[in-house]
Amino acid sequence: MKTEQWNGYPIRFVDHEGEWWAVAKDITDALGIKNTGQALANLKGISKTYTLTNRGTQKVLIIDEK
């Protein structure tokens, strides 16, 4: 996992099958979108993955660059 800044917002990226995918929640937060699920409903490049946090394993939705 890596984190990059975009317009002052931290965006986490996860290596997914050899490509960097962004954590969807970070993208919607940076864009000011309140309902992540609704915003992602029509996207095609979505996957789920698990990341390690200081509190254990977390399931996150990730989106590809396209």
Q: How far is 43 from 10, CA to CA, in rounded Å? A: 22
Rounded Cα distance between 54 and 35, Å, is 25
How confident is the model at residue 52, as a pLDDT? 67
Q: What is the pLDDT of residue 4?
A: 94
Query: What DSSP letter does each residue of 25-64 carry, written as one string?
Result: HHHHHHHT-S-HHHHHTT-SSEEEEEEEETTEEEEEEEE-
pLDDT for residue 42: 76
User: What global pTM score does this model have?
Assistant: 0.78
Per-residue pLDDT, 44: 73
Q: 3-class SS at 20?
A: strand
**Whole-number pLDDT of residue 46:** 77
| Per-block mean pLDDT, blocks of 10 residues, the chain (66 long) | 93 91 92 87 77 75 83
